[in-house]
Amino acid sequence: MRRVLIITTGGTIASVESPDGLVPGITSQQLRAYLPHIGNEIDIDIKSLFHIDSTDMEADHWIRIARAVRDNYADYDGFVICHGTDTMAYTAAILSYLIRNSDKPVVLTGAQRPIGFEITDAKSNLQDSILYAADPASCGVQIVFAGKVIAGTRARKVRSMSYAAFASINLPEIAEIRSGRIIRYLTDREYYRPEREHGDPALAKTDHTESQPVQFSDRINPNVFLLKLTPGMQPGLIPDIFRLYDAIVIESFGAGGIPAVLQQTLFEEMEKYGPEEKVLAMTTQVTYEGSHLETYEVGRRIADRFQILEARDMTLEATIAKLMWILADLGQSWEEIRTRFYAPVGKDTLL
C-alpha cells in the first residue's frame, strides 16, 4: 500500500463563504470528509500547517512546508500540498530548490472554487494529485491542476477564474491525467536528473541508474526586488532599491530593452557595489521564449559593462525563487553565485 501525506496551508480549496468573501476555514478533519474515493491501495494522512490566503504566503511559510516534507519524508511515498492558486507558482518554484533530488513526488494543488461548493474543481484536482503522488514513477516537485502535471519551476498562473488556471512556460507539460490514468510525456526521473544529460564531469564515473540523495534546505533570503519597467518610468527610486535589497530582478521590455532615461542612474548604482553585493538579474515581461540581451545594442551595453545574470527562458517565479535560495548562503563570490544560478535544478533553465 502506498502512503500519501496531504499538507494543508489554506487557499481557496479550503475556503468557506463569509460576509466579507471567501476565507480559509476548512479544517483537516473536515477536508477528509470531502476526499474523493481513491480505492484501497492508497493510505492517506492529513497534516494542517496553517490556514492562510496564499497572497499572505512568505518565506517563513515556505520553510515550514519544506520542513514538514523533510520531517515526514521517510514515512510516506508522496506528498500533496493544498495551496492557494495566487502564489502557488512561487511556492512550487522555491520548493524545487529547497527539496532537491527527491525520489518521492511533492505535488502542489488547489482549486478555483472551494471544495465545499456543489460545483467545484477541487475534488478532481485533489484526486489527480493523490493518484500522481502515489505513483511509483513520480518524483520531484510539480503542480497538478486541471489534469496537467507541470514542473515546479515552469508553472505560471495564467487565468484568474477558469479551471485551467496554470500553464507550463517554455517547456512541455510532464504529464496529463485523464480519467484516473497518468499519461507521461517525460519520465520524472529523466526530467529531474539534468546533470547527467549535461555531462557533469563530477558524475562521469557514477552509475547512471543511481539517484543522488534528497537534499533539503531551510534558508531563504527574501530580499529580492522585482523592478517591472513601464513606459515613462522615472529613475528616482532606483538608488533606494539598491540600498534596501540584495538582488534586483529587472523585468525588461522585449528581449532585454531598458529605457534610456533609466540607464544612467542604473549604471551609477551598479558601479557603487561589487556584483556579489548587489546581484542584478535581467528577465523579460514576455511570457514565452525568454530574454536575449545580445539582440539589441541597449542589452549588449549592460551585459558588456557589468557582471549580471540573465534569466533567459526561466520563469519570473523561478528566477526570484532561485535567487532567494542562492543568496541565503552568505559570503559567496560572484563566480559561485553565477555558477549556482546557471546550474540546472531539474530543467529549470534550458541553457
Cell of residue 261, nine digits = 532615461
HSE value, Cβ hemisphere, 13 Å, CA-based, for 241:
20
Distances (CA, A) of 310 to 15, 177, 259, 279, 302: 39, 34, 18, 11, 11
Cell of residue 270, nine digits = 551598479
Strands (E), 77-154: 78-82, 99-100, 105-109, 140-145, 148-151
Q: Which of 4, 24, 21, 29 is nearest to 13 (CA)?
A: 24
Residue 27 a catalytic site member: no
- Name the residue with cell 532585454: 256
Coil, strand or helix at 185: coil
Name the helix (H) or strand (E) containing 177: strand 175-178
Among residues 8, 9, 12, 283, the one annotated as catalytic is 12
* Cα 26 to the center of its chain, rounded Å: 25
HSE value, Cβ hemisphere, 13 Å, CA-based, for 108:
33
Q: Give the active site residues.
A: 12
